[in-house]
Amino acid sequence: TKSLKETLQEVIPGKQAQLKKLKAEHAQTVVGDVKVENIIGGMRGIKAMLWEASVLDPNEGIRFHGLSIPDVQKVLPAAPGGKEIIAESMLWLLLTGQVPTEAQTRQLSRELAEKGDLPPFVEKLIDSFPATLHPMTQLGMGVAALNHDSLFQAAYEKGMKKTEYWTYMLDDCINLIARLPALAARIYRNVYNPGTPLPALNKDLDLVGNYSTLLGFGDNHSLTEYLRLYIALHGDHEGGNASAHTAHLVGSTLSDPYLAYSSALFALAGPLHGLANQEVLRWQLAMQAEIGSDVSHEQIKEYLWRTLKSGQVVPGYGHGVLRNPDPRFTALQEFCDARPELQESSIIQLVKKTYEVAPGVLKEHGKTKNPYPNVDATSGCVLYHYGLKEFKYYTVIFGVSRALGALTQLVWSRALGLPIERPKSLSMDALEKLIK
Ligand code: NMX
Ligand code: MLT
């Protein structure tokens, strides 16, 4: 069985040759133009960065190395006794572009479990935080502190060669992903169940199986399976989203992956990005508290208009790139449709009913370019139904997941020798001079 590193070693030369050819033959080829609206509009629409593992189509949604969500659900190995994609098989696909065998997946699970313990000083650091500190702040600080053990940084200090960057980067990325369950679960324990003992990592479990166990839901097979799907599907969403892009930017300075991913987590913590999953739950529960569980379409419509008229966004709707319902939303809804207990859940029903009304209201409102749900519209309600009710924690789960894609690109960026990122900015005066 070839290991992940051996597989990457085989794949990298081909990609390096592809980049060399692109540079040699097409460095000056124009692939788009930049308008004033792009510069003042958050760079929306500008094709401006390399990202290997996935590409987002506005209408069809995400493809991981060309594979759609239904494709990966068919081909990627699941956990023993499970059906949903696991983080290890998604990580393998993202990093190598290849579908791992069952044996490779199990080998990676074991490696992650063996490397998953936190250094005692990080445990102490996390334990010193007040329970009132937002879980995302705690996660970002914990990840940054893990850079104490960065192999990339230590090798850089010793003067490693550029050709060696990616191997140290890969080792750091695997160590970081391995430690995320213990870190994220410790935060959950400290904030919501202080004093509860945390079990040791089980070397025979997959990454998310261990995470679910540490959270206290190891006996809940349905929730563990949901977490597996959730974490695999949130893993990568091409490179321009705020968290992935932040990791890419910070990593381009040759900052180690702990610092780069910690920065990414603070981008994910914003309500227009990953925090939206917390906001959706808060908003849907407030709707339920006000109108009750048995709501009509008319009542939801009225509530939506009230949200919009008060100047707030409808959380979980709209997207910077997508122009159709997010296929991740669809996949998570399908998970619910296949389980009778979820079909009876009042919060899941409310999310569904909201979806029947919100696109029409948002179209009538006429501002958002995409009136359809993104993944955050539904991701939290299943957690809530199965008893993981602390919605301030939801973005942490997203943060455990996004490491798969953001760290994959850090390995590729170093393997391809990509430079420090440094786009050109302009003042309005300078822009006006360009226009004249
Ligand atoms: N509710 C109300 N107004 C909206 C919404 C929405 N859901 N989405 C966009 N708009 C408004 C937006 O605020 C902007 O208004 P203004 O011209 O006054 O500034 C206008 O519509 C045009 O925005 P778009 O170009 O359609 O959206 P943009 O690409 O700028 O932003 C989001 C994308 C995702 C930030 C935006 O749709 C949004 O705020 N959605 C709600 C929050 C959310 O669900 N975020 C999660 C995204 C997914 N994730 O996990 O990260
Ligand atoms: C994501 O998964 O990062 C979000 O859908 C936001 C984005 O792609 O811009």
Digit-coded pLDDT (tens) for 368-385:
999 999 999 999 999 999
Residue nearest atom 18 of ligand 1, based on CA coordinates:
367
User: Which parts of 195-317 fold into alpha helices (H)?
Assistant: 207-215, 221-233, 242-251, 257-268, 276-291, 297-309
pLDDT, tens digit, 9 for 90 and up, residues 290-326: 998 889 999 999 999 999 999 999 999 999 999 999 9
- State whether the beta carbon of 408 lies less than 6 angstroms from ligand 2: no
Tell which one of 51, 60, 236, 273 to mutate to probe ligand 2, the residue whose CB is within 8 A of the most ligand atoms.
273
> Average pLDDT of 327-333?
98
Residue with tokens 């529960």: 285
Radius of gyration of the chain measured on its C-alpha atoms: 22
Parallel/antiparallel/unpaired status of strands 54-57 and 61-64: antiparallel
Average pLDDT of the chain is 97
Choosing from 237, 319, 326, 385, which is the catalytic residue? 319
- State whether the beta carbon of 313 lies less than 6 angstroms from ligand 1: yes
pLDDT, tens digit, 9 for 90 and up, residues 51-65: 999 999 999 999 999
Tell me which ligand sits closest to the C-alpha of residue 37.
1
DSSP string covering 212-232, please?
Answer: HHHHT-TT-HHHHHHHHHHHH
pLDDT at 293: 82
Extract the tokens encoding 231: 């974490």
Whether residue 94 lies inside any domain: the answer is no
CA distances from 221 to 76, 82, 218 (A): 19, 8, 7
The atom number, within ligand 1, closest to the CA of 312 reads 2
Extract the tokens encoding 410: 């850090």
Q: How far is residue 85's CA from residue 110's CA, in Å, rounded to a whole number?
A: 17
pLDDT at 294: 87
The atom number, within ligand 1, closest to the CA of 318 reads 37
235 alpha carbon – ligand 2 mean position (Å): 10
Residue nearest atom 3 of ligand 2, based on CA coordinates:
241
96 alpha carbon – ligand 1 mean position (Å): 33
1 alpha carbon – ligand 1 mean position (Å): 46
CB-based burial of residue 59 (10 Å sphere; 0-12 exposed, 13-18 middle, 19+ buried)?
exposed
Q: How far is residue 261's CA from residue 284's CA, in Å, rounded to a whole number?
A: 30
Q: Measure the CA angle with vertex 111, ends 208 and 87; round to 5°.
A: 30
- State whether the beta carbon of 241 lies less than 6 angstroms from ligand 2: yes
Tell me which ligand sits closest to the C-alpha of residue 269.
1
Whether residue 369 lies inside any domain: the answer is yes
Q: How far is residue 257's CA from residue 247's CA, in Å, rounded to a whole number?
A: 8
380 alpha carbon – ligand 1 mean position (Å): 19
Whether residue 355 lies inside any domain: the answer is yes
Residue 241: CB atoms within 10 A of its CB come to 23
Q: Which residues of 115-129 are buried (b: 16+ CB within 10 A; e: fewer)?
A: ebebeeebbebbeeb
Q: How far is residue 411's CA from residue 168's CA, in Å, rounded to a whole number?
A: 9
Provide the number of structural domains found in the chain: 1
Whether residue 350 lies inside any domain: the answer is yes
Whether residue 368 lies inside any domain: the answer is yes
pLDDT at 132: 98
How confident is residue 251, by pLDDT bands cut at 50, 70 and 90?
Answer: very high
List the beta strands (DSSP E) in 10-162: 54-57, 61-64
Tell which one of 37, 326, 367, 372 to mutate to probe ligand 1, the residue whose CB is within 8 A of the most ligand atoms.
367
237 alpha carbon – ligand 2 mean position (Å): 6
If we measure between CA atoms, which residue out of 186, 212, 187, 189 comes closest to residue 134? 187
Contact 423, 249 (CB under 8 A): no
Residue with tokens 């048995």: 294
If we measure between CA atoms, which residue out of 194, 197, 184, 175 comes closest to residue 138? 184
pLDDT, tens digit, 9 for 90 and up, residues 74-116: 999 999 999 999 999 999 999 999 999 999 999 999 999 999 9
Indicate if the pLDDT at residue 436 is higher than 90.
no
Tell me which ligand sits closest to the C-alpha of residue 368.
1
Expressed as residue numbers, the domain containing 359 is 276-385
Q: Which residues of 398-423 are buried (b: 16+ CB within 10 A; e: fewer)?
A: bbbbbbbbbbbbbbbbbbbebeeeee
pLDDT at 116: 98
pLDDT at 300: 97
- State whether the beta carbon of 314 lies less than 6 angstroms from ligand 1: yes
Choosing from 237, 273, 326, 385, which is the catalytic residue? 273
Tell which one of 272, 314, 361, 370 to mutate to probe ligand 1, the residue whose CB is within 8 A of the most ligand atoms.
272
Whether residue 327 lies inside any domain: the answer is yes
Whether residue 193 lies inside any domain: the answer is no
- State whether the beta carbon of 278 lies less than 6 angstroms from ligand 2: no
Q: Is 273 considered catalytic here?
A: yes
Q: How far is residue 112's CA from residue 117's CA, in Å, rounded to a whole number?
A: 10
- State whether the beta carbon of 317 lies less than 6 angstroms from ligand 1: yes
- Provide the CATH number for the domain around residue 325: 1.10.230.10
Q: Is 376 considered catalytic here?
A: yes
Whether residue 317 lies inside any domain: the answer is yes
Classify 372 in phi/psi space as left (phi over 0), alpha (psi -120 to 50) or beta.
beta
Extract the tokens encoding 311: 């100047």
354 alpha carbon – ligand 2 mean position (Å): 21
Q: Is the pTM of this model over 0.90?
A: yes
Q: Is 236 considered catalytic here?
A: no
Tell which one of 46, 317, 328, 332 to mutate to probe ligand 1, the residue whose CB is within 8 A of the most ligand atoms.
317
Contact 248, 240 (CB under 8 A): no
If we measure between CA atoms, which residue out of 412, 142, 140, 137 comes closest to residue 252? 412
